[in-house]
Structures are given as C-alpha cells and as structure tokens.
Amino acid sequence: MIRLPGGTFRMGNDDETANPGDGEGPVRSVTVGPFHIDAHAVSNARFAAFVKATGHVTDAEKFGWSYVFAGLLPPGTARALPAPAGTPWWRGVPGATWRSPEGPDSTVRGRERHPVVHVSWHDAAAYAAWAGRRLPTEAEWEYAARGGLDQARYPWGDELTPRGHWRCNIWQGEFPHVDTAEDGHAGTAPVDAYRPNAYGLYNTVGNVWEWGGDWWTEGETRVMRGGSYLCHDSYCNRYRVSARTANTPDSSSGNTGFRCAAD
C-alpha cells in the first residue's frame, strides 16, 4: 500500500462532456486526512488467497451467472438473461465467475496478475475486511487517482496519449464491434500495466471499474470509479479521474474490480 498525506484538493468536474446524471460537479474543495491505498487493483492471485483462506463464495457464484462482454465470448456461449436495456453488448453467462471470467470453459490461468472481476461490492468489502482494510471513500479515491494534479482530466495530465503513447486500457476502434487494441490489450490488462501516476498508483482510469465505500446519491447503489477497458468516447468517456457511476451492491460483471484503502 502507499501512504498518502491527505490534504485539500478540488474534487469533481464541470466538463460539458460529462453525463449530467453522473453528478460529477460542481467542482468543490474537499479535504481528506492521511490514509493508505493499494498501488493497484486487487489481482486474481490475491483474491484467490482470500478465497482459499476463508471459503468465500461470491455473489456471482451464488446467482449462478454474471455479465460478460459479448465480444470476449466464443460463438454459441449460453446466455442466462437478456442484456440490460440499451446495452446489447452484455451477455448474462451461466457459470461466469471470478475463476471463469468468460464462463465455465475459461480460466484465470495466465491472468494471475490481472484484476479480479465478477466481484460485487459485498465481495470487495469482504476481502477488504479479511485483509484488515476497507474500500476507499470516493474523495480518497479521487484524491489518490489525481496524483497531485489539479483538475487534470487524466492521472497524467489533459492529453489522452502524450507523445502518442497509451497510458491506460480503454477501447480503441468502433464500439462495440471493433477493438483495435492499440493500447496493447483487449479485455483486462495486468494490474501494474502502464506507468503509475505521481503518487505511485496504477490504472486508476481504464482497465476495470473500482468499487468505492460510499453510497450513490439515493443510497440504493454503491459508487464505482475509474472506467474500464470497455470505455470509448462514442458512448462512455468515463475514463477520467472525476467520472463516476454506480451499481447495486450485489451486481458483478467482467469489467468491475476494486482496490483497498486503510486508515
């Protein structure tokens, strides 16, 4: 974990490209105390150690299915539920779990250093408690993700690809049909891929959404931050440090993980 001193920073964003319903703005001064935070998202290897020690059964395993991006599935994969409205690229796949991210015939072998996915907020909180940690507050997460930069769009500045180099794992091409993988990855990337921000944190934007400790505004869903490998500016430009979304605490998918914090 990385120790951060805390302090006052400008949180949120008034960017006109943000979704008004996401509640990023207004920009406001927020103060956080000192805290520790994981340098990167929890990996498959770390989550496997937790499951081995505790026997934890994830929500996806209890439900018997989880959402997988259709483009990662082999033809003919069984489908449990229709895609959510307006998102035909998702498939509710029987047997999709953290151990088998694309369904029963898949495995995380060779992806031990990739972020664990198909974990709900409940699963993330259980891991954090076992590790003697907790999930970061939304303010802590954004403070850490910004790496000391004031109101920059990304953890490294305002330019998405400085000097033509990709700094995060997002979608390139025509979503959802063609991903050119110019950033080097289709699907998840290792948790320590790319250069860290100035505070030493990896992949705070792109790769996988990260559960936070806070409730969304209405108190029925939990906040998620950072965007994922499926983000593309044609429909979801939430690969920015101020961007946010939410989901119900028992939900899981192939592009959602977490990192921990501690007092």
Which sequence spans correspond to the domains of the chain? 2-57+115-262
- Could you give the CA distance from residue 186 to residue 105 in angstroms, rounded to a whole number? 19
Q: Look at residue 79 in the predicted model and tell me its pLDDT.
A: 67
**Residue 24 pLDDT grade (very low, low, confident, very high; cuts 50, 70, 90):** very high
Mean pLDDT value across residues 52-66: 97
Q: Look at residue 184 in the predicted model and tell me its pLDDT.
A: 97
Q: Mean pLDDT of all residues in the chain? A: 95
User: Nearest to residue 200, comparing CAs of 40, 42, 45?
Assistant: 40
Q: Look at residue 67 in the predicted model and tell me its pLDDT.
A: 96
What's the CATH number of domain 2-57+115-262, 3.30.1490.120, 3.40.50.1580, 3.90.1580.10, 3.40.50.2300?
Answer: 3.90.1580.10
**Residue 157 pLDDT grade (very low, low, confident, very high; cuts 50, 70, 90):** very high
* 123 and 59 Cβ atoms separated by less than 8 Å: yes
pTM, rounded to two decimals: 0.96
User: Nearest to residue 118, comparing CAs of 87, 86, 141, 93?
Assistant: 93
Pair of tokens at residue 91 = 């498939």
Tracing tokens 């934890």 back to the chain, one arrives at 56
